[in-house]
Structure 1
Amino acid sequence: MAQITQAPLTQREKYRAECIRWMTEFEPDLFVTFAFNRWISMDEAQRTFEEFHARLDRKLLGRSYMTRPDERTDYRATIEKIDTNIHIHALFRMTAEQKSRFVVEAPSIWKKLFEAGNLNIKPIYHSEGAARYITKELRPETSDRMLLPKHKEKKINIAA
Structure 2
Amino acid sequence: MPVFVLLLVMMLAEIAVIVAIGQAIGVLVTILLLVAVSVVGVAMLRRQGTRTLTAFADAVRSRRDPQPQMVDGMLVGVAAGLVLFPGFVSDVLALFLLFPPTRAIVRRRMLRRAEQRRPRQVIVVDSEVVQPEDDRPIVIESVREDRD
The TM-score bracket by the shorter chain reads under 0.3
Structure with greater contact order relative to length (CA < 8 Å, sep ≥ 6): 1
Which of the pair is proportionally richer in strand? 1
Which entry has the higher C-alpha Rg, 1 or 2?
A: 2
TM-score between the two structures when normalised by the length of structure 1: 0.26
Which of the pair is proportionally richer in helix? 2
